[in-house]
Chain A
Amino acid sequence: METTKEVVINAEPFVVNIGPVHPSTHGVFRMRTTLDGEVIVDMEPVFGYLHRGIEKLAEERTYTGCIPLTDRLDYLASMSNNLAYCLAVEKLAGIAVPERAEYLRVIMAELQRIASHLIAVGSFLNDCGAFVTPIMYMFREREKIVDLFDMVSGQRLTYNYVRVGGVSQDVPEEFIPALEKFLKEMPGWIDEYDQLLKENEILLARAKGVGVLPKELAINISASGPVLRASGVKWDIRKADPYSIYDRFEFDIPTGAAGDCYDRYRVRIEEMRQSLRILEQAMKDLPEGEVRSEVPHLIRPPVGEAYGHIEAPKGELGFYLVSDNSIAPYRFHVRAPTLINLTALSDMMRGWKVADLIIIFGSIDICLAEVDR
């Protein structure tokens, strides 16, 4: 007679805190992951470490004084933030923008898109482990763009350039030749990035098929930007609800098929190429004229509300403004694209390993200043 002893191996999942300060940091972001060995069972994002109360601060500043605040939302794409806010105020107050200012805004927005995607792709590739080589190369190109912005607005990170009713000042005369030189060289540099890492087998092994965001889920959580387009949805606000003068330009919208990390990386590289196309067309057609329409010093819009949204590099950035006919907004709300994109993180990460967690997190490209406002 034998008695079989049942051996129960009690392997419980344990909670690991990938803390607010972690090495592949895209800001102060905490992930409470439940791990079963190496496999991720659940992930809970905890953010709010960078909350500065921008929406409340904006209620105490005039409409023009809020523009430096919007600079500091997604500090890597400052021109786009300014543009979205000014579009909302112009909708609210019914202010028209002169032609030259529209073209200048488009040029700045597309240059900003290239600069932001360079950082996004560079840090994604750095998380994959290619030491810092991609970052160094991409920061070299970003430095050229930032030099151009420095020439126009006087600063390198928080530009404060786009104003209600136009832009703040005209571009100096050395801007256009420098921009032409940049446009001539940039496609060659993007080709070099492709040569460096597009077909690298190890990158394909680590990023293809990893962190898939299915199409229905992406639409249901109202994701936007490259994250949505990589999942196969062809939705871009520049084509779906054109603002400014985007309906005059010819460009394509790159989409991916699978919605994995590799597709998000490819979509961003292709968007950079399309931005170069728009820039060439805008630069060719740049008209003469004034750059700012006559706007009172303290804008006092009529009572009402407006929502102005643009296709920022990270997604759909929108500003919802409510005015009560005073010099400061009554309610100022930011629809932050990265906050909404990261609600799908735990679904994307389930079933993968810890090493993939970093890659998936890097591929959705969040900027904590925008998530936390």
Chain B
Amino acid sequence: MATAWLPPDWPGNFWAHWAIFAVISIVFVLLMFMVFVWVERRAMGIMQARLGPNRAGPFGILQPAADGLKVLLKEDIVPAKGDKVVHWLAPVVAVVPVLLIFAVVPFQGGALLVDLNIGILYIVAISSVTTVGVFMAGWASNNKYSLLGAMRQVASVVSYEIPVVLSIVGVILLAGSLSMQQIVMAQDIPFILLQPLGFLLFFIGALAEINRAPFDLMEADSEIVAGFHIEYSGMKFALFYLVEYGEALAISAIVTTLFLGGWRGPLLPPWLWFLVKVGIVFFVIVWIRTTVPRVRIDQLMALAWKFLFPLALLNLLITAVEILVWPAVSLWVMVPINIAVMIVLVLLWSRFFKLGWGKVEV
């Protein structure tokens, strides 16, 4: 049984494989969530010329644990006139899809819970269920600002789904399969070089979907709506917090798998490469949050429909043309062509792009 550890596509012992990987997925998500909270607070602190938390445990490592403990001990307040069942169900409906996404993310060659041959489609479908949970939270709070915040969030998630999915289709065209494992195997050249425009669109769209800066108007504290989780306290609030960081982790993992080559890399063991790449992508997300101000809601929608959506269509068109017309040419030729196309398109589109309608006459 010494070889039982790697690579574990155990023929015949289906239940053991399923049990071990279910445990690994959930432990991975929860552990990385804590690590990510710590990384974000420390990294953001140092980039702002201050230290992050450093009192709870050495270098503040136990800070997320302390936060979790504090949140557990808080009183659970349910609004009196709100819908109690929906109020209780909303965090559950929001959290479970985030955990389910990790069923198809490959940590190593063959090391994933189930290698669905429609892997990426499954991810797109499941990640939309979180939005239902968010809307349920907004509705059940019996608070018109919370409902307003939830509706804004639903509108923004729905708008940004389309460019995200279209950029994923570009990757699928190149890889030839929907399965996550196959996509990683097809990346002799990481797809970020072959699909630079697709990467850009996916990244911006994903940031909007997970409600992080610069698109975090839902949790912004400078406006009158404080978001859909305004009436939540205690463990339910912790679950929404888990949703936010869990989605950030999921997006990092998906970006790594689709565009950066997953677990492939020269020297280190593959699962370590995976962790390093996920860490880098998350660091970029934190970096952007530290620097960039927030957009307004109408600017958010205009960005999705007028800027990202046409560019996503064009990207798809160009990728399809390249694959059909030059199937035999080496992929390394495509890299500079695609980068040039990206630069030209972004510059051209920016010239013609006008956003928001500004001041309204009253």
Residues of A within 8 A of B (CB): 16, 18, 22-24, 36, 38-41, 125-133, 136-137, 140, 196-197, 200, 202-203, 205-206, 209-210, 350-356, 358
* Chain B residue at minimum C-beta to C-beta distance from A137: B49
Q: How far is the CA of A22 from the CA of B359 in the complex (A)?
A: 24
State whether B362 touches A355 (Cβ < 8 A).
no
Q: Which of B342-362 contact A (CB under 8 A)?
A: 355-356, 358-362
Most chain A CB atoms below 10 A, which of B213, B224, B289, B299: B224
Q: Please report which residues of chain B, range 293-313, place their CB below 8 angstroms from some CB of chain A when the two chains form the complex.
A: 293-299
Asked if A23 and B293 sit within 8 Å, CB to CB, the answer is: no
Tell me whether B48 is interfacial, beta carbon within 8 Å: yes
> Which of B44, B49, B224, B295 contacts A206, CB < 8 Å?
B295
Q: When A132-B48, A354-B223 are in contact, do A196 and B362 touch as well, CB less than 8 Å?
A: no
Which residues between 197 and 247 of chain B lie within 8 Å of chain A, taking CB atoms?
213-214, 216-217, 220-224
Determine whether the beta carbon of B294 is less than 8 Å from that of A23.
no
Report, as a range, how many residues of chain B touch the other chain.
Answer: 20 to 34
Say yes or no: A39 contacts B360, CB within 8 Å. yes
- In the bound complex, do residue B213 and residue A131 qualify as a contact, i.e. CB atoms below 8 Å apart? yes
Known: A136-B49, A202-B214, A350-B362. A24 touches B222 (CB 8 A): yes
Q: Does the CB pair B358–A209 fall under 8 Å?
A: yes
CB-CB under 8 A from B49, the residues of chain A are 136-137, 140
Contacts of B66 in A (CB 8 A): none
**In the complex, B333 has a CB within 8 A of chain A:** no
Q: Which residue of A lies closest to B45 (CB)?
A: A136
Mask of B37-78 contacts with A, CB within 8 angstroms, 1/0: 000000010011110000000000000000000000000000
Compute how far the CA of A250 lies from the CA of B224 in the bound complex, rounded to whole angstroms. Answer: 46
Residues of B within 8 A of A210 (CB): 358-359
Residues on the A chain within 8 Å of B359, using CB = 209-210, 351-352
Which of A38, A140, A203 is the one whose CB lies under 8 Å from B293? A203
Q: How far is the CA of A128 from the CA of B358 in the complex (A)?
A: 16
Assembly CA distance A41 to B359 (angstroms): 11
Q: Which of B48, B222, B224, B295 contacts A205 (CB 8 A)?
A: B295
Interface flag for B4 (CB, 8 Å):
no
Separation of A155 and B360 alpha carbons in the complex (Å): 48
| Chain B hits for A205, CB < 8 A | 295-296, 299, 355-356
The answer, among B213, B222, B360, for a CB contact under 8 Å with A358, is B222
Chain B contacts of A200 at CB under 8 A?
A: 292-293
Pair B48/A125 contact, Cβ less than 8 Å: no
CB atoms of B222 and A131 under 8 A apart: no
Looking at the assembled complex, report how far the CB atom of B218 sits from the nearest CB atom of chain A, in whole angstroms.
12
**How many Å from the CB of A266 to the closest CB on chain B?**
16
Give the CA-CA distance A241 to B120 in the complex, in Å.
71
Enumerate chain B residues within 8 angstroms of A202, measured Cβ to Cβ. Answer: 214, 292-295
The distance in angstroms between the C-alpha atoms of A200 and B294, with both chains bound, is: 11
Q: Which A residues are CB-close (under 8 A) to B220?
A: 129
| A361 smallest CB distance to B (angstroms) | 10
Contact B48–A197 (Cβ < 8 Å) = no
Nearest chain A residue, comparing its CB with the CB of B298 = A353
Q: List 8 A-B contacts (CB under 8 A).
A: A23-B221, A24-B222, A129-B213, A129-B217, A202-B294, A206-B299, A353-B296, A355-B297
Residue of B50, B293, B298, B361 touching A130 (CB-CB under 8 A): B293
- Asked if A133 contacts B362 (CB within 8 A), the reply is no
**Shortest Cβ gap from B151 to chain A (Å):** 12
Q: How far is the CA of A131 from the CA of B293 in the complex (A)?
A: 7
With contacts A40-B362, A128-B293, A140-B49 known, what are 5 further pairs, Cβ within 8 A?
A137-B49, A206-B294, A351-B362, A355-B296, A358-B223
- Closest approach, in angstroms, between the C-beta of B353 and any C-beta of chain A? 11
Q: Mark B166-178, 1 if CB is under 8 A from A, else 0.
A: 0000000000000
In the bound complex, do residue B362 and residue A129 qualify as a contact, i.e. CB atoms below 8 Å apart?
Answer: no
* Complex: A40 Cα to B223 Cα, angstroms: 14
Q: In the bound complex, how far is the Cα of B355 from the Cα of A206, in angstroms? A: 11
Q: Which residues of B contact A356 (CB under 8 A)?
A: 296
